[in-house]
């Protein structure tokens, strides 16, 4: 018994589909420092808002 699960014809169809580029999407390169900068900026803004709220309520 052979280890093949597909016939040669079906395997050719699968190979043709996989190499056709149907699901390929051009993506911009990942920029980790931009992501880090956005996270730091959001955390800073949230911290400042929380300090402002604390001051208006007389906590600080």
Virtual torsion, Cα 32, 36, 38, 41, nearest 10 deg: -160
Instruction: Tell me which DSSP letter residue 24 carries.
Output: -
This prediction has a pTM of: 0.56
41 pLDDT higher than 90: yes
The proportion of the chain whose per-residue pLDDT surpasses 90, expressed as a percent, equals 60
Q: What is the pLDDT of residues 16-30, one digit of tens each?
A: 988 887 778 888 999
- pLDDT for the residue numbered 2: 56
State the pLDDT at residue 25. 83
CB 31 within 8 A of CB 25: no
């Amino acid at each position: 018994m052979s280890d093949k699960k597909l016939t040669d014809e079906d395997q050719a169809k699968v190979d043709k589909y996989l190499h056709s580029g149907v699901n390929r999407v051009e993506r911009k390169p990942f920029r980790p420092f931009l992501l880090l900068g956005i996270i730091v900026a959001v955390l800073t803004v949230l911290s400042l808002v929380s300090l402002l709220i604390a001051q208006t309520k007389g906590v600080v």
